[in-house]
Structure 1
Amino acid sequence: MNKPILAQSKAVSIFLIFALGYFISTLLRAINATISPELVSEFDLSAAELGLLGGGYFLGFATVQIPLGYLLDSKGPRKIVSYFLSITIVGLILFAYAQNFIMLLVSRILIGIGVGACLMGPLTAYRVWYLDETQQRANSWMLMVGAIGMLSSSLPVQYFIPTIGWRGVFIFLTVLTLICIILIILFIPKWQTEEKLNKIKYAELKNVWQNSFFRSLVPVGFFNYGGLFAIQTLWAGPWMTRVSGYTAEESAKGLFLIYFCLLFSFLLWGYFVPKFSKNIKDAVKLLRWGAPLNLIVLLLIIYLGSSAGASYWALFAVSSIFLSLTQPAVGMAFSTSNAGKALTSFNLLLFVGAFFIQWIIGIIIDFGINLGMNEIYSFRLSMSFVFLTSLFSYFYFLKKSNSFNY
């Protein structure tokens, strides 16, 4: 396919439209942390059910990662992103009118499937329509938009709950998603040459999963990165209300602080990291030294218990930013022809990990309570699981990475 570089005005409009879709995606990823008190109260959810419900988004998201690359290459972002967002609308409507846990879970999975193309779709478009030097800037800005989406899932959502309720919030998001689909159809260019959809070549995927560098990062992606997603998009909220004693409004303010710090750290990260990390060797070196920082913070949170509030979780989120080195490192470890497959495989790993850990945290909390522990100790027990699995995953990476030749 030829590379038709677009005029600047057209490139800006394309970015803004796709940014709206990714904003919706990350807002929906994190919104359960804010509305969890309402969901628990209305549906009498256990911690395990709350974790499974939050993880439903990641499960749906993960299921489409492998075929997504093939669909985008053959049909283009305009069709695929708009088709997928139509599934999101179905999920949003079902969630807004849900009457039981099963309906909530099914709709949450549909939402995850529907927003599954909201980042990979734009990145595919930028690769074809933007100049090479513009792509990195656009990719960084998309990550910032994602942080703004999570930021908007906290205080802004909490502000509207007393007036329109959590169901009204989802109706509003349905309308916003519909507007995004219309904008995509009207303003995103057609894919120049739609190709016949290629079958997924499992032999190529097998080569990715057998790569020694990729395999060294499998536990880190699943437990460390998955644990980060599980905490920042759900369990930080219940920790603040049920361990630290925050009100729902105070918890929303705490989440706002966490996501604001994350946004600011992305800004600094995007500026400084290219100066220090120019190749895979640099990325691995930074990961070796930086990955343990969030584990130190998490251990402190576990030790402090009810005294660890929003500022500690904000510090945890910021110190976790070194984990973002894993994705570009995976991309650099493979040839151009296999980089996309490696990245979608790694995304699959992250989101399956987030689903599993978000659910298992809830199961451990319920287990602790059933054993007679109070809620605070049960939460600390669940976070101890995240700490230990992440610690052993980091040691595994250290051991394997020492043998690499770059």
Structure 2
Amino acid sequence: MSHDVLSRRTAVWVFVAFASAYFLSALLRAITATLSPTLTLEFGLQARDLGLLAGGYFLGFSLTQLPMGHWLDQHGPKKVVLSFLGVAVVGCLAFAWATDFGGLLLARVLIGVGVSACLMAPLTGYRRWLVLEKQQRANAWMQMTGAFGMLASTLPVQWLLPVIGWRWMFVGLALLIVLSMALMAWQVPKWRMAEPPAATRTPAKPVGILASYKQVWAHPYFRSLTPMGFFNYGGLIAMQTLWAGPWMIKVAGYTSLEAATGLFWINVCMLVTFWIWGLVTPMLYARGLNANKLMTYGVPLNFCVQIYIVLAGADAGALHWALFCISSSFVSLAQPAVGMAFPTALAGRALSAYNLVLFLGVFVVQWGMGLMIDGFKTAGWQEPQAFQCAMAVFFACCLVSYGYFLKHKSDS
């Protein structure tokens, strides 16, 4: 569909518009790691509460993925993302006004629902608006924008906390989302429905949302990547946006400021990592190193880092968590690869279905880590050892998922 490919200038503005929203969604995703000491103190939270609160965002995110993919293919990125972001504004204001844990959790779920189109909408648009070799680059640089957002959730939030308080931060974030919506309304083109080939053009029968995903669920390549998306990729986000912070405080003995500084540098590393992926991915693909090969050879590096973190305990600090995140980034190649494995008309549903797997994984890992930490403490383990045991269980899940990918990827 070459007639849909955007000019360079238009493509840049479209990218900036979408990136502004994704920046804010990533900031909101990761902010709980920095705010965890404050919220724990103010609301008396246990590890399981903290995990559920952080995971509430991803639960809200997951709830919308199937209908959203259907709507993206039907109505296009612009209309869908603007509708969803209105919910995010309400969620931010609700979080700012919350007076108990229940209010915080409900607001967090609303925020997750509201920003759930911020990556899938542009990826669906890029599938049509950018030439094939530019799609992996655009995805990597969207991820880099997300790393900027997570960067902003660390030291800047820690510095602003005593100045304006966390409640006014969320009011400010609501206003920034409104500005991002205005930019998208101005710059993002309208969506034209893809015309089926004349030979296959028949009156369409109404299809339910779940039924419309049948081709996606049945695809061997999609299935081969599902466990790694759930545990390995979901775990990367779960650790980066929550558990790396508490580990540095509870296990490695960092202060709140030191932990926020550690998170800042972790996110700097991820920003640089995704920038590099954006630069080198087209060249690697041209040399025959596709997503499958890169994940096959790259994911074991992450396992080496995980083993060190589990065994080192208090000696595993910000540097090792940065290495964990960098070495986990190989699994991010799966997302655009899934989109490119399907025809354009199914791209939105394929990407959203994979996003559902991914963010359900984040929710399960974030809350599951909290439950395991509390459970091991109840069983008599000291808190640092409880963290290590929970991390060991997570590692085992990642290892099994990678084995499943190796076994089934050749079927795709």
Partner of 2:142: 142
Q: Does 1:121 align with 2:112?
A: no
Per-residue CA shift, 1:297-335, capped at 9, x if unaligned? 011011111111100000111111111232233334444
Q: Does 1:231 align with 2:239?
A: yes
User: 1:70·1:200 contact (CA, 8 Å) conserved in 2?
Assistant: no
Letter in 2 for 1:312: H
Partners of 2:252 and 2:179 in 1: how far apart?
39
Partner of 2:201: none
Partner of 2:22: 22
Which of 272, 277, 289 lines up with 2:280 in the alignment?
A: 272
Letter in 1 for 2:255: T
Letter in 2 for 1:181: M
> Structure 1 pair 242/405, CA: closer, same or farther in 2 (3 Å)?
closer
Share of identical aligned residues, percent?
A: 50
Partner of 2:354: 346
Offset at residue 125 of structure 1 (A): 3.3
Partners of 1:184 and 1:396 in 2: how far apart?
40
User: 1:220·1:390 contact (CA, 8 Å) conserved in 2?
Assistant: yes
Partners of 1:99 and 1:14 in 2: how far apart?
38
Letter in 2 for 1:352: L
Letter in 2 for 1:83: S
Partner of 1:102: 102
Offset at residue 288 of structure 1 (A): 1.7
Q: Does 1:395 align with 2:403?
A: yes
SS of aligned partner of 2:115: helix
Partners of 2:315 and 2:108 in 1: how far apart?
32
Q: Does 1:260 align with 2:268?
A: yes
SS of aligned partner of 1:317: helix
SS of aligned partner of 2:116: helix
| 285-294 vs 241-250, which moves further | 285-294
SS of aligned partner of 1:64: helix
Partners of 1:251 and 1:334 in 2: how far apart?
42
> Structure 1 pair 167/279, CA: closer, same or farther in 2 (3 Å)?
farther
Partner of 2:181: 181
User: 1:70·1:198 contact (CA, 8 Å) conserved in 2?
Assistant: no
Partners of 1:229 and 1:133 in 2: how far apart?
26
Give the length in aligned residue pairs: 404
Unaligned runs of 5+ in 2: 196-203
User: 1:63·1:113 contact (CA, 8 Å) conserved in 2?
Assistant: yes
Offset at residue 134 of structure 1 (A): 5.1
| 157-166 vs 2-11, which moves further | 2-11
Partners of 1:78 and 1:210 in 2: how far apart?
29
Per-residue CA shift, 1:105-164, capped at 9, x if unaligned? 111011011001111222333444455665554333222111111111111111101111
> Structure 1 pair 42/280, CA: closer, same or farther in 2 (3 Å)?
farther
Per-residue CA shift, 1:4-24, capped at 9, x if unaligned? 555544443332222111100
> Structure 1 pair 334/280, CA: closer, same or farther in 2 (3 Å)?
farther
1:303-382 matches, within 5 Å, as 303-382=311-390
Partners of 2:136 and 2:387 in 1: how far apart?
39
Letter in 2 for 1:143: Q
User: 2:51·2:366 contact (CA, 8 Å) conserved in 1?
Assistant: yes
Letter in 2 for 1:277: Y
SS of aligned partner of 1:287: helix
User: 1:302·1:380 contact (CA, 8 Å) conserved in 2?
Assistant: yes
Partner of 1:62: 62
Partners of 2:292 and 2:75 in 1: how far apart?
35
Partners of 2:336 and 2:286 in 1: how far apart?
10
1:79-228 matches, within 5 Å, as 79-130=79-130, 135-191=135-191, 199-200=207-208, 202-228=210-236
Per-residue CA shift, 1:44-103, capped at 9, x if unaligned? 111001001111111111111111122223333332211111100110011111111111
Unaligned runs of 5+ in 1: none
SS of aligned partner of 1:217: helix
TM-score normalized by the length of structure 2: 0.90
Partners of 1:373 and 1:210 in 2: how far apart?
44
| 153-162 vs 174-183, which moves further | 174-183
| 325-334 vs 231-240, which moves further | 325-334
| 371-380 vs 339-348, which moves further | 339-348
User: 1:3·1:128 contact (CA, 8 Å) conserved in 2?
Assistant: no
Partners of 1:224 and 1:202 in 2: how far apart?
26
Q: Does 1:250 align with 2:258?
A: yes
Per-residue CA shift, 1:196-250, capped at 9, x if unaligned? 9964454452332233332222221111111111111100011111111111111
Partners of 1:310 and 1:166 in 2: how far apart?
24
> Structure 1 pair 198/68, CA: closer, same or farther in 2 (3 Å)?
farther
Partners of 2:114 and 2:388 in 1: how far apart?
34
TM-score normalized by the length of structure 1: 0.92
Letter in 2 for 1:15: F
User: 2:73·2:348 contact (CA, 8 Å) conserved in 1?
Assistant: no
Partners of 2:283 and 2:277 in 1: how far apart?
10
